[in-house]
Structure 1
Amino acid sequence: MPDLTKEPLRNAQRKCLSEPSIYAYMAVKQALAQASITDCSRYALIVSNDSTACANAETEGIMETYHDTRRVGGFQVFRSLNSTVSMALASIFGFSGLSLTLSAACAGGGHAVGIAHSLIASGIIDAAVVVGAQEVGTLAYTAFDALGVFSRNESSPSTASRPFDKSRDGLVPSGGAAALVIESEEHYAQRFSMSGRLHYPMAEVLGYGFSTSPNIVSPSADSILAAMRMALGKETPVPQLTTIFPHATSTRDGDSAEAQAISELTKRMERPPLTVPIKALTGHECWMSGVSTIVYAIIQQQGGFVSPHPHLAEKDSAASSLIIPTRPQEYNHGLCLCNSFGFGGTNAAIFLNLLP
């Protein structure tokens, strides 16, 4: 966990920081510095977070031992709510407009980006800082483990995350935080004309698609396809994508349904796009993954490369038509889709133009 002892935080602010808030604080600090933003008062703050299991377990442990709420402390409530991240960051960085936390399981990050884009396009807000945060550790993922979705490949954990591989047996959990600054063209131009400093944008958000599958756990290829098509808009034929960054967590049903949807979406494209399953390298970052996937896509575009899937031995039959790189290579990503899906059947897809 990041060490915040040297950070310029008041004691009360420090006591309000939960584990995901600490990760998010560092991510937002870096994003603001990279974008040369010193005043957050005109920015919305939209966060994807869906649990504070560790803080709540800590509260329960204190109460079981002492049976006295005074032992819990007055700041524990701010570390225990799902909105812990947006509450803490709004106070620390001075966000004075819209500030909220979205709860949409592993699709939350994608929806956070999409809702920020929609609010900006409608003129309700000019700019937003979008954050995905995920606590880590045994307590954070106990319920997931009970569902039986984790890989059992403990003998080789570094290769256990194997999206679209025929022998995949479950996801590998991970976490942290990621942050993006999203703003209208007018706000961007005004900000840099006033500051005299020019920072070129790294990507354009072109579209946001969403859908809900009919089953709370089992994914639906048709629903995933609907979200991707919505993100791409009503153009016919569909835009020629260069890359798809799938949700692809290495679960059997989830990867299979997404592979079927991607195959259907791209079957009439002149050049099939690369399908780049980031989670082969990062594991599944759950609540933050919809934001972090976009960050990873931007990093690859800025570096002019595509990341490989080094653990792919044999593609699953559902993924037979997907072009999945297994070695790093130079690449210009251009138009891409970033997918994120969650329990409850919620699906999000973000259509991006990754800029050089």
Structure 2
Amino acid sequence: MNRVVVTGIAGFSPIGNNWEAIFGRLKSGETGIVQMPEWDIYEGLNTRLGAKVDFTVPAHYSRKDLRSMGRVAQLAVVSSENALIDADLLNADVLTSGQAGVSYGSSAGDTGAIADFGNMLLHNNCDGLNANTYIKMMSHTSPVNIGIYFGLKGRVYTTSSACTSASMGIGQGYEAIKFGQQKVMLAGGCEHLCATEAAVFDTLYATSTKNDSPGQTPRPFDKDRDGLVIGEGACTLVLEEYEHAIQRGANIYAELVGFGTNSDGQHITQPSAKTMEQVIRLSLEDAGLAPQQIGYISAHGTATDRGDIAETQATSAVFGKHTPISSLKSYTGHTLGACGALEAWVAIEMMRNNWFHPTANLESVDDSCGELDYIKQQGRELETDYIMSNNFAFGGINTSLIFKRWNA
């Protein structure tokens, strides 16, 4: 069993593209939720709220580089490049040795390419289609483009599992190294903002319609919440086998010590508190930890009634009311395929800085939610050696990750 450490992190989020910017927004309480007037053209769409990232493809990406990448893959590849630079591995021999792979996902491929195929089916017209349209559309567009751009010859895991795409990517990358199959894994997830994603949750009456007050929503765990807001982003963690990292003198952010995943096996969209509780216990078992050793929990916290209630009841069953918990989605919106990696990134950095953000807009906890130590209104200074990051997806796919403070 190999130890697994995090030696590079980079990404794009609605509240900043580096830790300094993100930290500033979390400290000030300023969220990334904005009005989306460009969605006014869609009749029947109730929400007009989203969370965008500031992203431009770097100039050194050629037309040839980009021809197989839609925006979602571009976010993934540039995040991965920045993470490799952060890890001092961008030009390392290990990348092309067969000992480095990718474990990455998004809810879907590029929706523009999907629309081109839709045009074919609806209008019997192949205009707009070319040899790369499918490559942009396919569910594994991000990991494949990452692998090709960096010449990776190891494993490619496609973790397209909705809201657990990124956390599953991190977990499967961890297991590939832990069990000796790879030395390095680029792990994480991505998503680009599209009205179709908002429409999915709109049909379930799960989106926030506080369209005139974007700063006051979403409100995870709050009795007055009215639904989620869709966001976008990407984040890549460079996972590395401990001895390999030590031998090259790598900077280490944290150690990944626990991963659990399971499924509800009962309903596509209705979560189960029972199996959520079980996945948390699986992660603790994998890490060899007791619940009281976890000092902070990064919640999935979508601000939907059924999701918030099931998650908090499951968490309370394991931890009681003694472990601080908050939701990053209150700042970034629900970034879908990216959320697990963005939330892991922020949780790791908060552990390193001994400060943890509150859940934005949380004023009065819903009585139906589990009794927990909710961080609200102001951030909290605390020191811990272990943090947990939990995510849950459509289809009842559950994940839980545990990171350990790195003390050099």
- Mapped contact 2:261–2:399 kept (Cα < 8 A): yes
Percent of aligned pairs sharing the same letter:
24
Distance 2:142 2:260 in 1: 25
Identify the range of structure 1 (291-300 vs 223-232) with the bigger mean alpha-carbon deviation.
291-300
Report how far residue 336 of structure 1 moved.
Answer: 1.4
Match of 1:43 among 96, 100, 120: 100
Q: What SS is found at the alignment partner of 2:398? A: strand
Match of 2:402 among 348, 351, 355: 351
Partner of 1:195: none
Partner of 2:49: none
Partner of 1:139: 196
Match of 1:338 among 389, 393, 396: 389
AA of the residue aligned to 2:380: Q
Match of 1:85 among 142, 151, 169: 142
Distance 2:197 2:277 in 1: 30
Segments ≥4 residues shifted beyond 6 Å = none
What do the CA deviations read for 1:226-251 (whole angstroms, capped 9, x no partner)?
A: 00000001758545210011111000
Instruction: Name the TM-score, length of structure 1 as normaliser.
Output: 0.91
Report how far residue 310 of structure 1 moved.
Answer: 3.1
- Mapped contact 1:54–1:140 kept (Cα < 8 A): no
Aligned length: 345
Distance 1:25 1:237 in 2: 37
AA of the residue aligned to 2:81: K
Does the C-alpha gap of structure 1 residues 265 and 97 become closer, same or farther in structure 2, counting only changes over 3 Å?
A: same
Distance 1:236 1:208 in 2: 12
Instruction: Name the TM-score, length of structure 2 as normaliser.
Output: 0.80
Report how far residue 181 of structure 1 moved.
Answer: 0.7
Q: Which runs of 5+ in 1 are unaligned?
A: 193-197
Report how far residue 62 of structure 1 moved.
Answer: 6.6
Partner of 2:46: none
Distance 1:148 1:236 in 2: 39
Aligned 1:146-161 pairs, distance under 5 A: 146-161=203-218
Report how far residue 222 of structure 1 moved.
Answer: 0.7
Identify the range of structure 1 (155-164 vs 235-244) with the bigger mean alpha-carbon deviation.
235-244
What do the CA deviations read for 1:166-218 (whole angstroms, capped 9, x no partner)?
A: 111111110110010111111212333xxxxx42x111111111121122111
AA of the residue aligned to 1:248: G
AA of the residue aligned to 1:249: T
Does the C-alpha gap of structure 1 residues 59 and 333 become closer, same or farther in structure 2, counting only changes over 3 Å?
A: farther
Does the C-alpha gap of structure 1 residues 50 and 90 become closer, same or farther in structure 2, counting only changes over 3 Å?
A: same
Partner of 1:60: 118
- CA root-mean-square deviation: 2.0
Distance 2:371 2:199 in 1: 35
What do the CA deviations read for 1:98-148 (whole angstroms, capped 9, x no partner)?
A: 123112111122211111111211111122010201121213433232222
Report how far residue 88 of structure 1 moved.
Answer: 1.3
What do the CA deviations read for 1:281-300 (whole angstroms, capped 9, x no partner)?
A: 11111111111110111222
Q: What SS is found at the alignment partner of 1:250? A: coil
- Mapped contact 1:63–1:72 kept (Cα < 8 A): no
- Mapped contact 2:167–2:188 kept (Cα < 8 A): no
Match of 2:184 among 103, 124, 127: 127
Partner of 1:265: 318
Distance 1:292 1:274 in 2: 19
- Mapped contact 1:335–1:351 kept (Cα < 8 A): yes
